Amino acid sequence: MTYDTDVEPIAVVGLGCRLPGSHGPHIFWRSLLRGEEAVGEPNDRSRGLSSLGAGDPLTRSAPTRRMGWLEGVDEFDADFFGIGGKEALKMDPQQRILLQTTWESLEDAGIPPGDLAGGSTGVFTTEVYSGYWDLLARDGNADMYTVLGASCHGGASGRVSYTLDLRGPSLTLDTACSSGLVAVQLACRSLRAGESTTALASGTQLVLTSAENIAYQRSGVLSDEGKSRFADVDSDGFVRGEGCVSVVLKTATAAWRDGDRVYALIRGVSVGNDGRAGPNMVAPAEEPQRRLLREAYANAGLSPADVDFFETHGAGPPTGDAIELSALASVLNEAGPRAEPCLIGSNKPNFGHSECVSGLTSLIKAALSLYHGVVPPTVNHRSPGAGIPWSELPVRVPTGVSPLPGHGRRHVAGVSAFGVTGTGAHVVLTSVDRDVSTGGEEPTDGPHPLPLSARCPDALRARAASLADFLERSPNTRMVDVCHTASVRRDHHSPCRRCLLVRDGETTIERLREVSSESDDRLVRSDSRVVYVFSGEVDFSAEELRRLGDRFPAFGAAVWLRARSLRESLGCSPLDGVSNLEEVLSAESSASAHRVVELALLDLWRSFGIGPDVVIGEGRGQPAALVAAGIRTFEEVMSREFDDGGFSEVTGNEGVPCVLTRSAAETGRELDRFGTPPEPGHQERAANTVRRLVLDVSALAPRETSPWSGGGVPAPEVDDPVASVLEALAGFYEAGREVSWLGAAPRGNVLSLPTYPWRRTRFWAPTTGMASTRSHPVLADQGRERRRVEWSGTLPLGADGERGIRNHVRPTSGEIVDILATVSERAATGDRSFLSDIVPWSCGNAVFTASWIRALAELTGPGRWELDLSAAVGDGSWGRVATASAEAFRYSTPVERGDFSEASPLDTNGLLAFMRDDAGGEDVRGRFLRAERKDRAARFTLESGTDSERGCVLGPSVMDTVLRLVPVVFEGTKPTAGHTVHRIERATFHATAGECVLCEVRVYEWSGNSMRVDLLFSDPSERPLAELTGVRIAPWQ
């Protein structure tokens, strides 16, 4: 491959994007071709952004709410990336989206991310704003998680490098709207200098606060109509947009070498600043833009006359568009007249102006245009804009899908981006011959392995379903390309795996649909132990041997390498005079020849990365077993003087046990020692049992009918050794073994198969009004944000449609504590919730209506909140039920555990009768299993809350049961009035309850019917769930 300049081109090999209405390059390109406009009103419930449309207090005008919005910015697959819940909560969603989009771009490139770990991959990303940090800091939630996850912009690139273990350059830059293309320039330089072997150029932007919107509105650059129009007479400004783009880059030489698909080649990049050429720093200037274009094409070794398509900055403000097109006209006209007009366009009207991401969005549009040979339409362009020298411009704005100009030559595209800092960038790209950019040969008919894997069963089912959908949409897709991409070009996950052997698209779709509905047990695999059995029964025909060698070159090479080794060490070989594999088994020394084949089969399995944990040699297969275990060399067992040493079991050089047997029956008894399956019904033993996978290497067949029973691998086709190898390999893969697919999968081209299906769990700072991470059965997920946050909900009613204690319709003490704990957790956004001074109000003679309640959290200082719980009153107003204070990152002194070794058990039936009397004859909601007392301490074992309490911090029924038990246990007589909580000094909550709860009670004050106690709730393993100290219990008033 030769180039026009001494500077090597950079190949664009992978694309990933999340843009408004478009997730992934395929949907992005389809949206462009259809001329879709993905700009609209925000979904306030998705992230609590009602304030973004609020009026400007200075101008009394409201910025347009029309923007290019991303959906699901609160969702993230933290488990996939090994990130804890607290850290994920504090991570800017821009970092989360960047991580997932980066992974998707590598999958699109056909580069397994695991292959880059520890290598010199560079990360060059851009991030300008962090509204999430502003929201967290406003509420006092500042710690190192928020500093690295939201405040520090360098955390974006650092997060990608750390998570994927990339050890090349890693930086986050900000030149405003030109940042994305500047990141591309730095990535290209790093690749050409050899400091990076692969480079990721990326950027992300989310709009989470109204500050920038108001600033742009005041400056008059936002469109009042809420539409971006490029170079149009009705242009009145731009529309903001969100997005994330990641581009995978390699040198052209490396891309050809690795057989990568190449979307386009970057031939030249230039970056410059306007300096003082304009009237102010933010105003664009024409002369610096002309200079920028000339430098870019000089760097590329091309003339501007060669350009077929310009993807302009084209944000929408009339002045900026006019200056950009005037500079473009000057440079194009310098090159002389053109045979055909140059196509120019902008993607801002489609998706909005994503600012620091916009240059990368333009880059992937240009790369896809070159790859497909057409330019999408520019939407919202109806009449040429005033102030633009159209008569001097040899250009055309396409309003429909247009083929690239030129006949039988490579196409050239230019991409521009200009920032308000005065920094601009221009990238020159050229097309690639599609036949050159893809490798692969026409394959055999199959079968071919199609491995699927995921971190959880739901993801594996989704992966199978999405691949089936892909094949239905693309019926002409070659299955060899699908299998090549899925096996060699993707990372392989655990513990959920399936491997199908496929031949054609129709049956593959059917098999994938079956996988998409399989149970968890069918998809999740435990650890396995591989047992290699050498029986010495090598029984293949010459044709079968030839087919093995044709499909698996490693086998044929192993046969001849072993024969050559014998010739060099012993001076002769059983294959002397044999010219091809068909003659091997009929060689004069057939027994020795069979042994050569047997060990070549061992080499074949080793080439797949499948090594044995145990080796068994049976009868004539003993010599091969000794070689496999590393106890004897190949030359030793081939010698006429070979002696097995008389042992029955020995450990090889690599720690692999080797057992020698005389018969199949004896082998069967030995197999029972290694990974014997548990007896049916013993689930606990089954979970800890290592699965046994047994392969007769000599015969290329399972020793048992199905050594990987339940693995979904059909019985091998005994008349087809190729299928036998692939079936066994599929079984090993499904059992969790790492397989080297390079020698087993067909050669093919890289395809953009569906990317990994993320598990979308909500992680958000709830004080922004966003739906909370954990749902609660009473409080609605969504809070309405003002200066304070408000939640409301409905308490559950009793079986008779009523609720209350002694006919008072109000929340119980347990409900009050649980709801306030939930509000505190949402307000403080911490993994621990700390409350103080919880005071239930008596509410006088207020008549509460049924069960409608409201919870308010008002910020009073950094990390400090005042909580107010009210219930609906009959006249339509609200009656206060309780108040409390909440504080972020406050830890109480743990309550000491008591010694109950000599405690006296209590009569549970009698206690239940006392409690019913205390409740006025009403049914007791909670149930307890055991009670015991020692002096002024007691311990209760209780069942956790009812189904209606799922999601509660600590089930209200558990709390209410304890609060009713305490006065009964310690007063010793039936109380004359019901008891309730009057005050709780401090409450700390650690975790939610399971099926069983322990509660320790310690009485500190006891005066009449009033007492002060501490409560420690824990699970049966004594893991703390909640601590309540200074609990004042007294008769109901």
Residue 813, domain CATH: 3.10.129.10
471 with 482: CB under 8 angstroms? Answer: yes
User: Are 277 and 350 in a shared domain?
Assistant: yes
142 with 191: CB under 8 angstroms? Answer: no
Q: How far apart are CA 1027 and CA 1012, in angstroms?
A: 14
**At which of 436, 456, 491 does a domain end?**
436
Residue at 12: amino acid letter: V
Average pLDDT in the 245-263 region?
Answer: 96
Q: How far apart are CA 281 and CA 655, in angstroms?
A: 70
Give phi and psi for 76, each to the nearest 5. Answer: -160, 145
Q: Is residue 749 part of a domain?
A: no
Of 195, 434, 232, 258, nearest in space to 344 by CA: 232
857 with 835: CB under 8 angstroms? Answer: no
Q: Residue 216's CB: how many other CB atoms inside 10 A?
A: 16
The pLDDT, as a whole number, for residue 292 is 96
Average pLDDT in the 786-799 region?
Answer: 65
**pLDDT digits 0-9 by tens, 660-713:** 877 777 777 777 766 544 333 323 322 333 455 777 676 665 544 333 333 333
The beta-strand segments (E) located in 461-549 are 496-502, 528-534
- Residue 357 DSSP SS3: helix
Of 95, 173, 132, nearest in space to 417 by CA: 173
Counting every residue written for the chain, the total comes to: 1037
**pLDDT digits 0-9 by tens, 108-159:** 999 999 999 999 999 999 999 888 888 777 766 777 777 777 778 888 999 9
Query: What percent of the chain is predicted at pLDDT more than 90?
Result: 34
56 with 62: CB under 8 angstroms? Answer: yes
Answer with the residue of higher pLDDT: 984 or 41.
984
Best mean pLDDT range from 373-382, 635-644, 874-883, 981-990: 373-382
- Distances in Å between the Cα of 498 and the Cα atoms of 516, 521, 525, 710, 982 are 11, 12, 10, 11, 59
Q: How far apart are CA 933 and CA 1000, in angstroms?
A: 10
The token pair at 946 is 């009812």
The pLDDT, as a whole number, for residue 698 is 65
929 band by pLDDT with thresholds 50, 70 and 90 = confident
Q: Is residue 757 part of a domain?
A: no
pLDDT beyond 70 at 770? no
Burial annotation 439-462 (CB, 10 A radius, 16+ → b, else e): beeebeebbbbbbbbbbbbebbbb
pLDDT beyond 90 at 372? yes
Q: Is residue 760 part of a domain?
A: no
Q: Is residue 5 part of a domain?
A: no
**pLDDT digits 0-9 by tens, 343-370:** 999 999 999 999 999 999 999 999 999 9
Q: How far apart are CA 716 and CA 737, in angstroms?
A: 19
**pTM of this prediction exceeds 0.95:** no
Position of tokens 């000491």? 896
pLDDT beyond 50 at 176? yes
Give the alpha-carbon dihedral of 129, 130, 135, 141, to 10 degrees: -150
The pLDDT, as a whole number, for residue 59 is 52
Residue at 316: amino acid letter: G
The token pair at 370 is 């070159």
Q: Left if phi > 0, otherwise alpha if psi is -120 to 50, otherwise beta: which for 261?
A: beta
Q: Name the H helices within 893-937.
A: 908-918
Position of tokens 């009057």? 982
Q: Is residue 897 part of a domain?
A: no
**Beta pairing class for 1010-1018 and 1024-1035:** antiparallel
**At which of 834, 860, 887 does a domain end?**
887
Q: How far apart are CA 22 and CA 93, in angstroms?
A: 18
The pLDDT, as a whole number, for residue 401 is 95
Domain residues for the domain of 303 are 10-46+62-436
**pLDDT digits 0-9 by tens, 11-58:** 999 999 999 999 999 999 999 999 999 998 876 545 554 445 455 555
User: Are 798 and 866 in a shared domain?
Assistant: yes
Of 536, 501, 499, nearest in space to 696 by CA: 536
User: Are 916 and 1030 in a shared domain?
Assistant: yes
182 band by pLDDT with thresholds 50, 70 and 90 = very high
| Residues 6+ positions from 489 with CB-CB distance below 8 Å | 110, 111, 112, 750
Answer with the residue of higher pLDDT: 397 or 927.
397
User: Are 296 and 425 in a shared domain?
Assistant: yes
Answer with the residue of higher pLDDT: 186 or 926.
186
**pLDDT digits 0-9 by tens, 284-324:** 889 999 999 999 999 999 999 899 999 999 888 888 888 99
- Distances in Å between the Cα of 962 and the Cα atoms of 544, 840, 927, 932, 949 are 75, 17, 10, 13, 16
User: Are 534 and 641 in a shared domain?
Assistant: yes
pLDDT beyond 50 at 92? yes
The pLDDT, as a whole number, for residue 570 is 54
User: Are 908 and 994 in a shared domain?
Assistant: yes
937 with 900: CB under 8 angstroms? Answer: yes
Answer with the residue of higher pLDDT: 407 or 891.
407
- Taking each continuous run of H as one helix and of E as one strand, the counts in the chain are 31, 37
User: Are 539 and 609 in a shared domain?
Assistant: yes
531 with 572: CB under 8 angstroms? Answer: no
Q: What is the distance between the terminal CA atoms of the chain, rounded to a whole angstrom?
A: 91
User: Are 857 and 921 in a shared domain?
Assistant: no
Give the alpha-carbon dihedral of 110, 112, 118, 123, to 10 degrees: 50
Per DSSP, 150 falls in state I
> Looking at the 3D structure of the chain, how many domains does it have?
5
**pLDDT digits 0-9 by tens, 809-853:** 567 888 888 888 888 877 765 555 688 899 887 655 555 555 678
574 with 538: CB under 8 angstroms? Answer: no
Answer with the residue of higher pLDDT: 1029 or 798.
1029
User: Are 340 and 459 in a shared domain?
Assistant: no
User: Are 32 and 131 in a shared domain?
Assistant: yes
776 with 833: CB under 8 angstroms? Answer: no
Average pLDDT in the 519-538 region?
Answer: 78
Q: Is residue 643 part of a domain?
A: yes
Question: 353-357, 465-469, 837-841, 903-907: which has the minimum mean pLDDT?
Answer: 903-907
pLDDT beyond 70 at 334? yes
| Residues 6+ positions from 925 with CB-CB distance below 8 Å | 946, 956, 957, 960, 961
Q: Left if phi > 0, otherwise alpha if psi is -120 to 50, otherwise beta: which for 1031?
A: beta
Average pLDDT in the 963-973 region?
Answer: 73
DSSP string, 114-179: HHHTTS-EEEEEE----HHHHHHHHTT--SHHHIIIII-THHHHHHHHHHHT--S-EEEE-BTBTH
Kindly give the interhelix angle for 813-828 and 956-971, rounded to the nearest 10 degrees: 130
**Beta pairing class for 309-311 and 342-345:** parallel
Average pLDDT in the 497-512 region?
Answer: 93
By the 10 Å C-beta count (0-12 exposed, 13-18 middle, 19+ buried), 4 is classed as exposed
Average pLDDT in the 983-987 region?
Answer: 90
Of 451, 435, 436, nearest in space to 484 by CA: 451
Best mean pLDDT range from 201-210, 266-275, 512-521: 266-275
Q: Is residue 753 part of a domain?
A: no
Q: How far apart are CA 726 and CA 737, in angstroms?
A: 14
User: Are 640 and 774 in a shared domain?
Assistant: no
User: Are 829 and 724 in a shared domain?
Assistant: no
Average pLDDT in the 615-639 region?
Answer: 81
The pLDDT, as a whole number, for residue 690 is 42
H/E stretch holding 488: helix 479-488
Average pLDDT in the 459-480 region?
Answer: 95
- Residue 743 DSSP SS3: helix
Answer with the residue of higher pLDDT: 631 or 921.
631
- Distances in Å between the Cα of 547 and the Cα atoms of 286, 555, 579 are 68, 10, 16
For residue 599, give the CATH number of its domain: 3.40.366.10
For residue 468, give the CATH number of its domain: 3.30.70.3290
Give the alpha-carbon dihedral of 669, 673, 674, 678, to 10 degrees: 100
Q: Which residues share a beta bridge with 232?
A: 384
Give phi and psi for 858, each to the nearest 5. Answer: -115, 130
Best mean pLDDT range from 404-413, 467-476, 857-866, 984-993: 467-476
The pLDDT, as a whole number, for residue 101 is 98
The token pair at 343 is 């196509």
Q: Residue 580's CB: how many other CB atoms inside 10 A?
A: 11
Residue at 728: amino acid letter: A
Q: Is residue 944 part of a domain?
A: yes
Q: Which residues share a beta bridge with 1000?
A: 939, 1016
**At which of 467, 490, 523 does a domain end?**
523
Average pLDDT, the chain: 80
Answer with the residue of higher pLDDT: 172 or 656.
172
Give phi and psi for 842, each to the nearest 5. Answer: -75, -25
Question: 99-103, 262-266, 455-459, 990-994: which has the minimum mean pLDDT?
Answer: 990-994
620 with 607: CB under 8 angstroms? Answer: no
pLDDT beyond 70 at 495? yes
Position of tokens 């695999």? 525
